[in-house]
Structure 1
Amino acid sequence: MNIPFSPPFIDQAVINEVLDSLHTNWITSGPKVKALEAEIIKLTGSQAAICVNSWTSGAIMMLKWFGVGEGDEVIIPAYSYCATALCVIHCGAIPIMVDILDDLTIDPEQVKSKITSKTKAIIAVDIAGLPCHYNELLNIVNDAENRNLFVPSTDRQSKLGRILLIADAAHSIGAFYEGLPASLKCDVTIFSFHAVKNITTAEGGGICLNLPNEFDSLEEYNFLKIFSLNGQNKDAFAKSNGANWKYDILFKGYKMNMPDICAAIGLAQIRQYNQTLLPLRKNVFLKYANSFKEYNWFFEPVSKDNVRETSYHLFPLRIKGISEIQRDKIIDELVYKGIIVNVHFIPMPMLTYFKNLGYNIEQFPNSYKQYACEISLPIYPQLSDEQVEYIIETVIETVQIIYTVEETIKVLI
């Protein structure tokens, strides 16, 4: 059997939506992007949604929007994909890394300990689709002492009057917090629509705004749409309608807009997400969890607790007591048997670029501990029952062999 890790969900509805874009001869930003933004608002309940060409673009844009720049600090987890830090560095600011909890989300106590007068934002990462502990993080940014410590340097910073809370929700579209879409818990939530995500546009991202009443969400939406198009006050679709060629550049923007041909893929998927795609992912997740829970080596990932429910983006299998080398042996065996798996994530302080900046993995022991024993199993709507059973049986067989050898060695020693 040959089981890929995370192929995109492409059905006839997706094909039809893309063909519709091609038949209309409109493939750059236009009506499909607008329709996708409307569907994101419907799914999340957010004030506004802006589609861009990647999560990274969206994060850079929102940090710039808030005025984050040279000498500022942004608190992030060490356990994340590199884009979480690179978006900060691209703004000239400094990523302040902290460790994570056992549920793989950022540790609020460590966040609290790293706040200074230079802190402008916190980017909390919803690893595997599980929302961070947002109530605790909101308490931190709204704490009177931290508000007094906050030094605004732009009008938007003065208007907010505190640290900006951003959700790196690359994994968590469709997740819930206190029974509501998790995206409502943060000032800004940024989704990824990369090819392996729950909803894809091939490449792309979506920004959701849920700002305090001091902000006009429509005004900020209009600004960000122009900001994503080089500061140009008319997009190509607007200019194409009659004698409407004249445009202006209002400020120094970026070229980060999403094209319609990409939005079409996501539009077809998001319309069937809650009723079809998300339940199918959940079904695979629960089959894994129920099958592995009887084994003492299994560290069960959080799918739902008293306030949070994951979007079932990943199944982060963690195996108690194994080393990184043993984890890698298990991966090699699974791949040999036709199951393509992944690891989420290599902590950033282990990567050459960040090591050269002075980050040291020894300062983030739990990030390393969780990484060293984690294997991300395939989880997507197209998986058949037969494939899921094969994955379960193969994982159990492979882990049991490694685990039995390890326990035997311990007894002999």
Structure 2
Amino acid sequence: MKIPFSPPLINKYVKEEVNDSLDSGWITTGPKVKTLEGQIKDLTGSPEVLCVNSWTSGAILILKWFGIEPGDEVIIPAYTYSATALAVIHAGATPVFVDINEDFNISTKEIEKAITKKTKAIIPVDIAGWPCNYTELNSIAEAHKKIFIPNGEVQEKLGRIIIISDAAHSIGATYNNLNTGVLADITIFSLHAVKNVTTAEGGAICLNLPSPFNNEELYSVLRCYSLNGQTKDAFTKTKAGAWRYDIIYPGLKINMPDVLAAIGVGQMKTYSKGTLPKRIAIFEDYNKHFESKNWAIIPPYKSSNKQSSLSYLRFKNKRH
């Protein structure tokens, strides 16, 4: 029996959106990206969403914007994909690994032990779509305000450790009746080919910073950063009299193109009422089969205050 590895959902809506992008003659950043950002805002309730070309580049962008530099420390779980640590390294800081709980998510007790005056950020990871304990994570950031040493205007404005949720797996998950996307200061989804929603390659940054930050203004700043610090994208420059632009930041080139965003736009049309319920049904079928096996540890899916997005349907064997 041949079981394919995470085949992407390519339905009629995806094909229609991609063909529409191709037929328009506009395939780089433009209206499809804006539509996808709007769809993710509607799903999550996030104040603003910026789509980029990968989770990794999105994380690097946020860390750089926050003023992370050599000598700083960023706490991450020991159990995660390499990109979590690589983003920290590429931003110039030191990743500090801490242990996990039995549910595979980062241990808040171990975070407490690892915080120093050099700690600038914590990046919890929602493993397999299972949300972390964001109540405790946000409380930890508040509780350590006194030892936080800000470097630069942005860090002074926040006045504490920033919580950046690695929600690569967890689009559509919930915690305390809130959607991932509004559980931390910043949430970053992956839209890679094997994720629940894909754009082939891509990522989405959800902005949820508290006052006095203005998330709408921050979206404009980060969008500019993601386009080499350029004040207008190519689509905007095509408008009459809009050819002039400036380079105002030493930015990155990590924007998402429309032809890829179109895949996500098509997938989002059926995600909440189609894809996610189907994944739940598949998960429950697996549960029925494995719950009678004494060697199988069933991964968490639902509790009194959490529901997973079921990004990975996997089981861990016990060692005897």
TM-score scaled by structure 2? 0.99
SS in 2 for 1:223: helix
Q: Which amino acid aligns with 1:29?
A: T
Instruction: Give CA deviations for 1:60-99 in whole Å, capped at 9, x if unaligned.
Output: 0000111111100000011111000000000110000011
The amino acid that maps onto 1:85 is: A
1:277 aligns with 2:280: no
Unaligned runs of 5+ in 1: 323-413
Q: CA deviation at 1:140?
A: 0.8
The count of corresponding residues between Structure 1 and Structure 2 is: 320
Q: Who is 1:92 aligned against?
A: 92
Deviations 1:299-348 (CA, angstroms, capped at 9, x unpaired): 111101121110011112011125xxxxxxxxxxxxxxxxxxxxxxxxxx
| Whole-angstrom distance in 1 between the partners of 2:225 and 2:176 | 33
* TM superposition shift of 1:40: 0.6
Partner in structure 2 of residue 343 of structure 1: none
Higher helix share: 1
Aligned to 2:264: 266
Counterpart code for 2:92: G
Q: What displacement does 1:156 show? A: 1.2
Which secondary structure does the structure 2 equivalent of 1:252 belong to? coil
State the match for 1:329 in structure 2. Answer: none
- The aligned counterpart of 2:166 is 168
What's the CA shift string for 1:139-197, capped at 9, x where partnerless? Answer: 11111xx1100000011111111100011000000000011202211000000000000
- Alpha-carbon separation, structure 1, partners of 2:180 and 2:217: 23
Q: Which residue of 2 aligns with 1:109?
A: 109
SS state of the match for residue 124, structure 1? coil
Instruction: Report the identity percentage.
Output: 53
Q: Distance in 2 between matches of 1:320 and 1:183?
A: 33
Counterpart position of 1:177: 175
Output the CA distance in 1 between the equivalents of 2:112 and 2:183. Answer: 18
Instruction: Tell me which structure has the larger Cα radius of gyration.
Output: 1
The separation in 2 between residues aligned to 1:159 and 1:271, in whole angstroms, is: 38
Structure 1's 240 and 281: CA in aligned 2 closer, same or farther, altered over 3 A?
same
- CA distance, structure 2, for counterparts of residue 20 and residue 220 of structure 1: 30
Matches within 5 A, 1:239-318: 239-318=237-316
The aligned residue for residue 208 of structure 2 is: 210
Instruction: Give the Cα separation in 2 of the matches to 1:23 and 1:72.
Output: 47
1:111-260 correspondence to structure 2 within 5 Å: 111-143=111-143, 146-260=144-258
Instruction: Supply the distance in 1 between the matched residues of 2:98 and 2:182 (Cα, whole angstroms).
Output: 24
Between the aligned partners of 2:284 and 2:177, the Cα distance in structure 1 is: 20
Cα distance in 2 between the residues matched to 1:3 and 1:316: 14
Task: Give the aligned partner of residue 393 of structure 1.
Answer: none
Shift of 1:244: 2.1
1:44 aligns with 2:53: no
- What is the aligned-residue RMSD (CA, Å)? 0.8
CA distance in 2, matches of 1:244, 1:222: 17
Q: Deviation at 1:138?
A: 1.1
> Distance between the aligned counterparts of 1:127 and 1:86, measured in 2?
17
Query: What is the TM-score with the length of structure 1 in the denominator?
Result: 0.77
List structure 1 segments (4+ residues) > 3 angstroms apart after TM superposition.
Answer: none
